[in-house]
Amino acid sequence: MNMSFWLRWSWRDLRARWLQVLAISLIIALGTGVFAGLGGQESWRVDSLDTSTERLNMHDFKMELADGSFIDQTDLIAALDGIEGVAALEPRLIVPTLLDASTEDDTVLAQGQLVGVDVSENGPQVDSLYVDQGRIFTSDDAGQNVAMLELQFADINNVEVGTTLRISGDVELETVGIGQSPEYFAVVPPDNSFVFGEANYAVMFVPLSTAQRITDREGLINNVAFILADGADSAAVQAAVEAHMTASFPDTGLDFVTRDDDIGLTMLYSDAKNDQVTWDIVALMFLVGAALGAFNLAGRIVESQRRQIGIGMALGVSRFWIAFRPMLVGVQIAVLGTLLGLLAGIGLSSLFASLFRDILPMPYWETSLYMPGFIQATVLGILLPFAATVLPIWRAVRVSPVDAITTGNLVAKGGGLSWLANHLPLPGKSFMQMPVKNILRSPWRSLLTVLGISMAIILMTAFIGFLDSFVATLDRAEDAYLYENGDRMIVTLDRFYPETNGEIAAIRDLAAEDGSPLFAQLEIGLMLGGRLIDGDEDIDTLIELHDMDQAIWRPKLLAGELPTASDEPGIILSEKAADDLGVAVGDLVTLEHPRREGLLSFRLVQTELPVIGIHNNPVRALSYMDLSATNLVGLNDVTNLLVAKPAEGAQPDTIKLALMNQPGVASVQEIAEISESFEVIMDLFVTILQVVRIIVLFMAFLIAFNTTSINVDERVREISTMFAFGLPVRTVTRMQIFENLIIGVLGTALGLVLGWFALNAMLVARVEDQLAEFKFIVEISPETLIVSMVLGVLVVAITPLLSIRKMTRLNIPDMLRVME
């Protein structure tokens, strides 16, 4: 036997089946592409963070002076002169401020900070500024009222270059640029408030002398950023700096913050890592789906050559050559799949990379094709078609040649489950019974077809269900926050104030210009950090205490009942916290919380409390108690949390501005903003999954279509016979539609069940570990169900319509002539 003969033969096979081979290759390519694209996430983000911090000369550590301390900048530089191991240092003046960046169309009010930086040589040399829009600072800007606004805040709040920024002290700054600094890739407000910083906290870079003039701190700074010389030891340098500082400024308290201590930066790195776990699961599921789909289809192609394999065996062809031709199908798929996979890998990689770029804050990106993922997927893409072909070949060569070549009996030796048909009361004409009998005759092949279709549906339901679940979780959060008095505002105070204090009264009495009150109601509450403990489990929690009898908003409960003031103290937990702790309403949990002992001293104590309710907010950390429990924490009649219901007609922005200017107010948030910031957190997942959904749909269609197309090919001879008896094309088509309908219904049903299982077992279970702070609401939306059914039942059922052309062009004499 010579090679070229077999290659030529195989080339003919390919020409006859190129569409199917192409579709399988495409399925493999999509799997490879998604795997490579999502697999690269962590390394992209980490590399990009490295590059971005590197290129923007991020500090190795910074020195912060104690609140309210300032040092003369010339004295400081003199004091720190000549410390070994310091490559560069950058004195800054960082002061809190309020920002009003409202334009005619849009109100933007926020807390934030001014970061005064040296602009003598195009901006700071340490923690340099990356200009996204507008221009960089020049030495001419020194002393001018110009600012560069941090990019993420500008983006979210639609602030553009040229906008006038009004800040505390009635100062106006012109936005000359919008940009980033490595120090603020993740914006963490100084009070560490729970809310997503980038959206609500404005960082404005201004020339140092401008900051000094505005804040009346001529020549002063309060923050220094350091870059270490190569090989210098950070701790030693910090010690040296501290020694120099105490020598020159003995009364100034100071604190060092290294990169490792930087909450924002470490969060960016750890998010990259944690998110990767989620993407790996998504990518792996996807690849496995593609793999099984391809396996199924490639297997069926070989299955259809079984009779020829039998003939070969009868002719005494060696096993090697017998296996050669069907194996070549595997080679073709592998080669084409790898080529297309490279294209899909590059294409999808850059698509995902651009999504990450849009969503994540780094200015410089390193998003080359993620080779390890690509290679893994490619190896699988090559091995898989072989594996898929080996099994049917093995099955085929085991059959005795005599059976394999028996005329008129192509596949099944026995009648499969045909006997079943005789016991089933099948209604209708024989051509409507035949589809059922065809399915029963070769149960193995039918099963493969059903599995092929269910694979498509599994992918659909699992992935789109995954997306649905994110959306359901967001909806749940929105419902929890907004179901009643959705216009309320949450005001946190910078410390505990006695309820009767002047600050509280002043806030309560805030009025509009015309003298009308700003609030319809102002509720006094408390907010405390604590820990929930049950056995080995412990969970950080944020406890809000409200007077539940007359609260502006009460938690919506899934179980239990809201407490009243006369009840014994009890706690309302989030669903996730209760699950994680393994407690239900009526059980006891231990709450570790601060208790005030002296005027300003607190001690951590543990209190056993009954769980009286489970609320519906997906955020695990949130717990609620009745305000009557203040005894427990020794905070009677004091408050650090106010809930405000705006008076009718009062503008939220007016209220916000008024509140922000009140002494004692730490933050003001419309509850809707908090609810929205939740969406921002999920944004990355939702965006990427939306893209994955489109790919899944396409892949599912490919699988479903290919499955059906192979089915038609296998029936060519039967179809020709029917045509020879004059059965009209439409009847034959109807029969096929009916057969596909049955297969489609079975495949869809199986797919939905397995898809639900995959969604729960593979995606959600693992992702819940990752998103430990949230209750993930698992849901498959009706839309997803409908799309799945449309795909699984309708698309599959009507695919024969696409073969009508093929059937009408069928050369009947030729088909009947060949003995197969």
| Count of other CB atoms within 10 angstroms of residue 565 | 12
State in angstroms the smallest separation of the CB of 800 from another protein.
17
C-beta atoms surrounding 757 within 10 Å:
13
Q: Which of 44, 35, 42, 32 is nearest to 283 (CA)?
A: 35
Return the CA Rg of the chain: 34
Shortest spacing between CB 314 and another protein, in angstroms:
17
**Cβ closest to another protein, residue 234 vs residue 433:** 433
Dist. CA 251–CA 345, nearest whole Å? 60
Q: Looking at beta carbons only, is 34 or 436 nearer to another protein?
A: 436
Cβ pair 700, 461 in contact under 8 A: no
Task: Tell me, rounded to whole angstroms, the distance of Cα 710 from its chain centroid.
Answer: 37
E strand or H helix that includes residue 338: helix 319-359
Task: For residue 672, give the nearest of 487, 492, 521, 522 by alpha carbon.
Answer: 487
368 vs 418, beta carbon nearer another protein: 418
Tokens of 652: 């939220």
In eight-state DSSP terms, residue 620 is T
Residue 352 CB neighbour total at 10 angstroms: 26
Q: How far is the CB of 316 from another protein (least distance, A)?
A: 23
Q: How far is the CB of 16 from another protein (least distance, A)?
A: 18
Q: What is the smallest separation between the CB atom of 802 and another protein, expressed in angstroms?
A: 19
Of 431 and 701, which has the nearer Cβ to another protein? 431
Is the CB of 445 or the CB of 576 nearer to another protein? 445
CB-wise, 215 or 720, nearer to another protein? 720
Other C-beta atoms lying within 10 Å of the C-beta of residue 814: 9
Nearer to another protein, 339 or 816 (CB): 816
Of 418 and 501, nearer to another protein (C-beta) is: 418
Q: 675-702 burial, b if ≥16 CB within 10 A, otherwise e? A: bbbbeeebebbeebbebbbebbbebbbb
> Smallest distance from the beta carbon of 439 to another protein, in angstroms?
8
Name the residue nearer to another protein (CB basis): 413 or 495. Answer: 413
The angle at the Cα of 702, spanning 696 to 708, to the nearest 5 degrees, equals 135
DSSP annotation of 126 reads S
How far from the centroid of its chain's Cα atoms is residue 141's Cα? 41
Q: Residue 737 Cβ, how far from another protein at the closest point, in Å?
A: 16
CB of 417 to another protein, least distance (A): 10
Residue where the block lists tokens 């780094």: 362
**Minimum distance, C-beta of residue 391 to another protein, in the bound complex (Å):** 23
Long-range contacts of 432-438 (CB under 8 A, 24+ apart): 432/735, 432/738, 434/735, 435/735, 435/736, 435/738, 435/739, 435/742, 436/739, 436/742, 438/715, 438/739
What is the closest distance, in whole angstroms, from the C-beta atom of residue 727 to another protein in the complex?
A: 6
Q: Which is nearer to another protein, 402 or 786 (CB)?
A: 402
CB of 425 to another protein, least distance (A): 12
C-alpha to C-alpha distances, 520 to 489, 508, 643, 645, nearest whole angstrom: 12, 10, 11, 5
Question: By 3-state DSSP, what share of the chain in percent is helix, strand and coil, each rounded to 5?
Answer: 55, 20, 25
Between the CA of residue 275 and those of 279, 342, 663, 681, what are the distances in Å? 6, 24, 40, 12
For the bound state, the minimum distance from the C-beta of residue 19 to another protein, rounded and expressed in Å, comes to 24
Q: Toward another protein, which CB reaches closer, 506 or 724?
A: 724
Please count the other Cβ atoms lying within 10 Å of the Cβ belonging to residue 499: 12
CA torsion 749-754-755-756 (nearest 10°) is 100
In the structure encoding, which two tokens stand for residue 154, read together?
């500008």
CB of 308 to another protein, least distance (A): 16
Instruction: Give the number of other Cβ atoms within 10 Å of residue 745's Cβ.
Output: 17
Of 425 and 515, nearer to another protein (C-beta) is 425
CB atoms within 10 A of CB 10: 18
Shortest Cβ distance from residue 728 to another protein (Å)? Answer: 6
CA atoms within 13 A on the CB side of 588: 8
Asked whether 304 and 488 are in contact (CB, 8 A), the reply is no
Q: In the complex with another protein, which residue's Cβ is closer, 599 or 819? A: 819
Comparing CB distances to another protein, the nearer of 605 and 727 is 727
Instruction: Let me know: does 404 contact 313? Beta carbons within 8 Å.
Output: yes
Would you tell me which residues interact with another protein (CB under 8 A)? 406-410, 412-415, 418, 422, 429-431, 433-434, 437-438, 440-441, 717-718, 720-721, 723-729, 731, 808, 812-813, 816-817, 819
CB of 730 to another protein, least distance (A): 9
**Least Å distance between CB 430 and another protein?**
5
Spatial CA neighbour of 700 closest among 763, 752, 765, 777: 752
Q: How far is the CB of 470 from another protein (least distance, A)?
A: 46
Q: Which helix or strand (DSSP H or E) is residue 492 part of? A: strand 489-498
Q: Which is nearer to another protein, 595 or 734 (CB)?
A: 734
Q: How far is the CB of 438 from another protein (least distance, A)?
A: 5
Q: Are strands 519-534 and 638-646 parallel, antiparallel or unpaired?
A: antiparallel
Cβ proximity to another protein, 273 vs 429, nearer residue: 429
Whole-angstrom distance, CA of residue 438 vs CA of residue 738: 11
* Phi and psi at residue 204, to the nearest 5°: -120, 120
**31 with 703: CB under 8 angstroms?**
no
Q: Find the DSSP H helices in 607-670.
A: 630-633, 652-660
- The residue (of 57 and 720) whose beta carbon lies closer to another protein is 720
Cβ distance to another protein smaller for residue 143 or 415: 415
